[in-house]
Amino acid sequence: MPAREPPGTSGAPGTSGAPGLAPIEVAAIDLVRLSMPLVRPFTTSFGRQSERDVLLVRVTGDVTAPGSGGFTDPDSGEGSGGHRDGQLAGWGECVTPAAPVYSEEFTDGAALVLREHLVPALVRPDRTVGARDVATRLAHLHGHRMARAALELAVLDAQLRAADRSLARHLGAVRDRVPVGVSVGIPDGGTPELVEQVAGYLDEGYLRVKVKIRPGFDVAPVTRLREVLGPDLALQVDANAAYDPEDRQHLAALDALDELDLILLEQPFGAARLRAHAQHAVRWRTPVCLDESIHDAADAADAIALGACHIVNIKLGRVGGMAEALRIRDVCRAATVPVWCGGMLETGVGRAANLALAATDGFDLPADTSASDRYWHEDLTAPFHLDDGHLAVPTGPGIGRIPRPDALEGAEVVRLLG
Ligand code: SMG
Ligand code: MG
How confident is the model over 55-81, as pLDDT tens digits? 999 999 997 544 444 444 444 444 444
Q: Whose CA is nearest to atom 9 of ligand 1?
A: 240
Whether 367 and 179 have beta carbons less than 8 Å apart is answered as yes
Q: pLDDT tier at 124 (50, 70, 90 boundaries)?
A: very high
Q: Where would I find the H helices in 131-189?
A: 131-137, 145-162, 167-171
Mean of the pLDDT values across residues 256-268? 98
Whether 336 and 304 have beta carbons less than 8 Å apart is answered as no
- Whether pLDDT at 303 is above 50: yes
Which of 17-31, 265-279, 286-300, 306-320 has the weakest average pLDDT? 17-31
Atom of ligand 1 nearest to the CA of 102: 15
Residue 68: the pLDDT is 44
Q: Residue 25: what are its φ and ψ, rounded to 5°?
A: -95, 110
Mean of the pLDDT values across residues 244-271? 98
Long-range contacts of 328-332 (CB under 8 A, 24+ apart): 328/294, 328/296, 328/297, 328/300, 329/360, 329/362, 329/363, 330/7, 330/297, 330/362, 331/297, 331/300, 331/301, 331/304, 332/300, 332/304, 332/362
Ligand 1 first shell, C-beta below 6 A: 97, 102, 183, 238, 240, 291, 342-345, 368, 370
Residue 86: the pLDDT is 84
User: How far apart are the C-alpha atoms of 184 and 182, rounded to whole Å?
Assistant: 6
For residue 289, give the ligand nearest its CA: 2
What are 185-205's pLDDT values in tens digits? Answer: 999 999 999 999 999 999 999
Q: Could you tell me how many residues make up the chain?
A: 418
Instruction: Give 183 Cα–ligand 1 centroid separation in angstroms.
Output: 7
Q: Residue 230: what are its φ and ψ, rounded to 5°?
A: 90, 170
For residue 376, give the ligand nearest its CA: 1
Question: What percent of the chain is modeled with pLDDT above 70?
Answer: 90
Atom of ligand 1 nearest to the CA of 185: 6
Residue 70: the pLDDT is 43
Whether 325 and 357 have beta carbons less than 8 Å apart is answered as yes
Q: pLDDT tier at 183 (50, 70, 90 boundaries)?
A: very high
Residue 162: the pLDDT is 96
- Whether pLDDT at 325 is above 50: yes
Whether 118 and 148 have beta carbons less than 8 Å apart is answered as yes
* The one catalytic residue among 250, 315, 351, 390: 315
